Amino acid sequence: MMNETEAREIREAISSADNALTHLYSARKYLDSAGNWGLLDMFGGGLISGMMKHSKMGDAEREIENARYALQSFSKELRDVSGYSSIHIDDFLTFADFFFDGLVADIMVQSKISEGKRQCDEAIHRVEGIKVELKEKLRGM
């Protein structure tokens, strides 16, 4: 039987997961938009499409950084829940590192955007999975 302290820790971890997911979904949305503007830019979109692509990439970068902090907080909260450890999160806390490298050519930018979307999707999937487990654990008390 779970006590109130354990239930509170699970609720805190779920709340922290929600915060991380908010930033991950937002980053994914900006990466989608940057990818669309990037394709237009590659096929002769001109100055405006290039500016929009970089603007959306900047937005995505900010959300990825926010997601990184939120994932660190989630990892900390998860360590307080019995049966979880930081290994559940720590192995993908660095998912955004590639994004902060220098951007060279439009093709590389598109590749980085695609990789960013893939890694963002993976982080979303894993956080959602852990959140479901936490909710089930909370219901089982």
List the domain boundaries for the chain. Answer: 4-139
Question: Which residues lie closer than 8 Å to 44 by C-beta, 6 or more apart?
Answer: none
**Tens-place pLDDT, residues 61-112:** 888 889 888 988 988 888 888 777 655 555 555 555 545 444 334 556 777 7
**Which of 132, 74, 87 is closest to 140 using CA atoms?**
132
What is the DSSP secondary structure assignment for residue 102, as one 8-state letter? P
SS3 126: helix
Cβ count near 40 (within 10 Å): 16
| pLDDT interval class at 134 (50, 70, 90) | very high
CATH of 4-139, one of 1.20.120, 1.10.238, 2.30.240, 1.20.1080: 1.20.120
Q: Which of 7-11, 24-28, 45-49, 85-89 has the lowest mean pLDDT?
A: 85-89
Q: Give the model's pLDDT for residue 104.
A: 38
